Chains A and B, each alone.
Chain A
Amino acid sequence: MLNKLLHTTLGICMVTLSVAHAETGIEINDAWVRSAPPSAKVMAGYMKITNHSQKTITVTNINSPQFKKVEVHRSVMHNGMMHMEKIEPLSLDSHQELILKPGSYHLMLIKPVDVIAEGEQVHFNFSFDNGDKFSLMAEVKDGAEQMGHGGGHHH
């Protein structure tokens, strides 16, 4: 218990683009949020999440002070229609790399507290069941560049 608490406390870190517990658990890279019209009630966040550990790790919470709610969703084609599937809970297998990208897995960012413009940063807090906790900032951009480089491709 004490050990876990210590791990959690030490685990809290904050960098702009990438956070990592490369040896023990989760790494998050390339986080960005797609800019949206000022009245948008929903936005989407994308990133790469890697589980470096030998165990399955599950996300226990994602939140942002700039949104009322953050959920993990996946756009998926079903009976000819594009559906949004809520992924709850999101688990990553040992050594799995999950890419959240347009048209696939994404963070659904519900009800922004205030208008968030291109160039601003969105602050996310992630908690995982191995005790990892991250705070990270994701830049708001239109995503044209991200989509141009591999958008629509599957790896």
Chain B
Amino acid sequence: MFKKFKTPLIAITLLFSAVLATFLLQQTEPTPLEFDSSKGIPVMSPAIAVPTVTLIDQHKQSFPMSKLKGSWNLMFFGFTNCPDICPTTLTTMKQVKKRLAQQNFRYIFVSLDPKRDTSDTLKEHMDFFNPEFIALTGDKEEIDKLTETMGVIYDFEGDTSSDDYLVNHYAAILVIDPQGRLRAHILPPHSVDKVADAITKLSNYYGN
């Protein structure tokens, strides 16, 4: 009796699973949001999961990347001995935060120079720009796992055994969604309007 229905039952189950999978995929990955190409805001579709890396914040607390979940994040990589680009970008992020004060976005600075950027250095730096910013440092290996996945290229220029060296680095602001996935790059130059507009549109479009 049951044998007679076995084959159609399997077929129906498979079909149902396929429909469900298609539906779920569409739910998790809507049509990509596109910005005007002149804006320099490439959107990742599908979004790229941030690797499970643990860094240390400016309060010497452990910061696993899973903490990125739950709200939208703007992340910038640099070093505190950087005279022009990093303070310029942090000043822009500070103004964006002020403009979007009602939004619960996180603003994160990741050091590419852990040798010189200790938690204490980062704390002083963030106290100057905005104490609510999160600043991360840690083992170079951990930082490198993060930068490799996120496409953040960098190298050192000068004698790294001295105190006089520079870090050449990718200078985009990365947008990470509330599932902890890299969703977009905001390429420089960064005006407050451009960054505020990008994060607002992305968070409205993709939601939480």
Contacts and interface: CB of A to CB of B under 8 A. Distances in A.
Given A80-B170, A82-B171, A106-B83, A148 B188 contact: no
Contacts of B190: 152
Contacts of B83: 42-44, 73, 84, 106, 108-109
Contacts of A42: 81-83
A143 interface: yes
B191 A75 contact: no
B124 interface: yes
A27 to B, nearest CB: 23
A153 B190 CA distance: 10
Contacts of A99: none
Given A106-B83, A109-B83, A36 B128 contact: yes
Interface residues of A, number: 34
B170 A81 contact: yes
A35, A43, A83, A109 pick with most chain B CB within 10 angstroms: A83
| Chain B interface size range | 20 to 34
B87 A36 contact: yes
Given A37-B127, A38-B124, A81-B170, A103 B153 contact: no
Nearest to A46: B84
B112 to A, nearest CB: 11
A41 interface: yes
B128 A37 contact: yes
A9 to B, nearest CB: 34
Given A37-B128, A151-B191, A44 B84 contact: yes
A76 to B, nearest CB: 10
B192 interface: yes
A81 B154 contact: yes
Given A34-B87, A38-B124, A106-B84, A152 B191 contact: yes
A152 B91 contact: no
Nearest to B126: A37
B85 interface: yes
Interface string A107-143: 0110000000000000000000000000000000011
A33 B43 CA distance: 35
A144 B192 CA distance: 10
A81 B81 contact: no
B188 A82 contact: yes
B88 interface: yes
A143 to B, nearest CB: 6
B95 A144 contact: yes
Given A81-B153, A102-B87, A152-B189, 20 more contacts: A34-B91, A36-B87, A37-B124, A37-B125, A39-B124, A41-B81, A73-B83, A81-B171, A82-B169, A82-B188, A84-B83, A84-B168, A102-B84, A102-B91, A103-B84, A143-B91, A144-B94, A147-B91, A151-B191, A152-B194
9 contacts: A39-B121, A42-B83, A44-B84, A75-B85, A81-B168, A103-B88, A106-B84, A152-B188, A152-B191
7 tightest A-B contacts by CB?
A: A152-B189, A37-B128, A82-B171, A102-B88, A42-B83, A44-B83, A152-B191
